Amino acid sequence: MALFAEFDVTPGESTAISTPLNFTYLSFHEIESGKAPYEGLAELLAQHRLGDDLMERKANLLVQPFTCVGGGYLPGYMLVKNLWLHMLRERHCHRFWDRDLFLSYLQSFFYNDYEFIATLLSPETSEYGVTNSVSLYCQKRLKDFMDNTTDDLVGEFETEVVARAANRRDETIRDLPEPWPGSDPQTARLGRQRLKDLLDELHGEADNELERSVRRMESWVIAQRELMCIGSFKERVRVNEHGMVHVGRLPGQEKWNLDFIMPLIAVGADSGVPHRMAKG
């Protein structure tokens, strides 16, 4: 899904927009007042995808062995592309001409599925049997996607996404959405209840400060589920005369008698960034 988003997804006519495109627009496009939402996003994507770096990335992907050993990125990418084509040609889901809507639907279909949660949190599944249970369920879910997705169902999903985006400010991590249309009601309710119980346990009273700290950390991870910070540190940022951004200072280099500072991170600066020292 990530590779499909990187190489193929473009905004369409739908007012629902996926998280990757939303954050791409917010992070890399200058938002001007008076312009329509996401105006210029298609041009931004085209400019990036026609660049040498992305062309090289896609070429490297397409020449990989067609095997799931080592991650299976090429088979996974081709599976998502073929699912999209199947929906258009065989299922006649014309709303999926909007590839961004297709990505949102596909992601939600597999990752916002209470039946899947019921499988993952089942107390009857042993640690040795969980892999088989998850594998069998994913195969069933994939078949459900191919056989049961309709243009009307996609329309219901689109309406729900737009409505939830409008009310997002009032949501908390306890605001669990309704089960996916077409899910088995009994299993979906079971999965939703198991997730609620897990969240209630997470927010319950802790016996000591260590447990409270762990629960706060886990709550923060869940709350940041759209963009997850792996780590952070305070450091100085330098832009040198060669247009390189240097972050931090590699520890222990004093003993090497170098006449320059070796940074922790070095990347190229955007064009037009002046040579200066700044605090990060």
Q: Helices marked H in 149-184 — which ranges?
A: 151-166
Q: Quote the CA–CA distance of 96 and 76 in Å, as a whole number.
A: 19
pLDDT at 236: 78
Same domain flag for 167 and 274 = no
Q: Does 134 reside within a domain?
A: no
Residue type (1 letter), 105: Y
Number of domains making up the chain:
2
pLDDT at 13: 87
Q: Does 164 reside within a domain?
A: yes
Q: Does 65 reside within a domain?
A: yes
Q: How many CB atoms lie within 10 A of CB 191?
A: 24
Where on the phi/psi map is residue 122: left (φ > 0), alpha (ψ -120 to 50), or beta?
beta
pLDDT in tens, 248-278: 777 777 777 777 778 878 888 777 777 665 4
Out of 172, 204, 222, pick the residue that ends a domain. Answer: 172
Helix or strand (DSSP H, E) at 63: none
pLDDT at 187: 86
Residue 92 lies in domain: 2-111+149-172
pLDDT in tens, 67-111: 988 788 999 999 999 999 999 999 999 999 999 999 999 988 888
Average pLDDT, the chain: 80
pLDDT at 56: 92
pLDDT in tens, 41-55: 888 888 888 888 889
pLDDT in tens, 140-162: 889 989 998 999 989 988 888 88
Q: Does 224 reside within a domain?
A: no
Q: What is the mean pLDDT of residues 221-248?
A: 71
Q: Does 188 reside within a domain?
A: no
pLDDT at 74: 94
How are beta strands 244-247 and 265-268 bridged, if at all? antiparallel
Q: Does 227 reside within a domain?
A: no
